[in-house]
Structure 1
Amino acid sequence: MTPTYRTTITQPPRPAVYGDWPAWAYPPLITQLADEYGITRPYQHQSLTATTAHDGRHVIVATGTSSGKSLGYQLPTLTDLARNPAACALYLTPTKALGNDQLTAILRLCRADPALASINPAPYDGDTPTEARRTIRATSRYLVTNPDMLHGGILAYPDLWRRLLANLRYVIVDEAHQYRGVFGAHVSLVLRRLLRLARRAQQPRGN
């Protein structure tokens, strides 16, 4: 069999296309983005992504590496969680390293003011100490986990996670292109189960 080789293509630089901060964006968060990361204006794809998610619609973003995709979900998620003290978010990652990077970024942004600090972002995976898990279940409104832990450690105990499930506002699936083939089929079923249990948790007790 003749081996195939990928051809490297170098694209010329293009001028950045900027958007505007959405009117609904949380002002302390915008200030923190400028102070921590020097971001004074979002790129157009960041603004469009954030507004689509904030409007309650599903959105997938496919852009190059280090193009700022994360801000597209950080802006609406942290804005809504800061303004709604009950709202929760779930972030799923295929790798622990990526999850740690994203958690570090979220924690930096949550320093902006008390409303953001109250989100209490936290990791929940196989390395989370047993003694910390109860506190995380009770207080964290932004959970960083993976599909395996979601399946075995969260959805298997919906009564323990009722607070998060009943108030789930955002589900972020990072590196979604990794979930292909049989593995992707399994993850899709886990996500369907998540949505089913969330709908059930949001119903009045006894129904």
Structure 2
Amino acid sequence: MNFETPLSALFPGTSGRLLTALVDHHSADAAEPLPLDELSRRAAVTSTQLEAALFRLGLLGLTEPRRKGDAVQLVPGHVAWDALRRLADLRDAVADMVREEAQARLHPAPAYLALQGAVAEGTATHPADLLELIVVPPLSAPAGWPDHLAALVTHLSRDLGNVVVHRTAEHTAEAEAMGGASAVRVF
């Protein structure tokens, strides 16, 4: 999965680049009109390509009606913007997913669980880009606990579309040193 530009990965070509630029604008200042030349530059799309794509977005109600060449005015309250913003930055969704899956699959819960790597940072652009789990098993981990951790890693690899690996530490201080400042702690 491409976590750096997920909208472009999900909607290839002009549509994905345009949606990415519009979501960025919506997040920054949805009420401000966006000049067509600025949108063309941000989306790396010619103005001719933009007009056709903007027409379709207008039919969906994401933009206000406009004449060819006019600035783009978003409909800030449109129901789709929130979903598109969440799709544009999946880092929180990844952390939530790992937390929920770990709670469901690892009993007892790990003493520490953090995420590191390109997927956690939101910079992954290829399925081979990693999500690394840094884990401190619970003190009272049963004998089969490592097998459950391995099953979690396999499950997450499938559901995220990227390679997931794990490293195990004996205590929290060691795990924090492994992850450094970039690690995202979920447990």
TM-score normalised per structure 2 = 0.25
In our comparison, the structure showing a higher alpha carbon Rg is: 2
Higher relative contact order (CA 8 A, sep 6+): 2
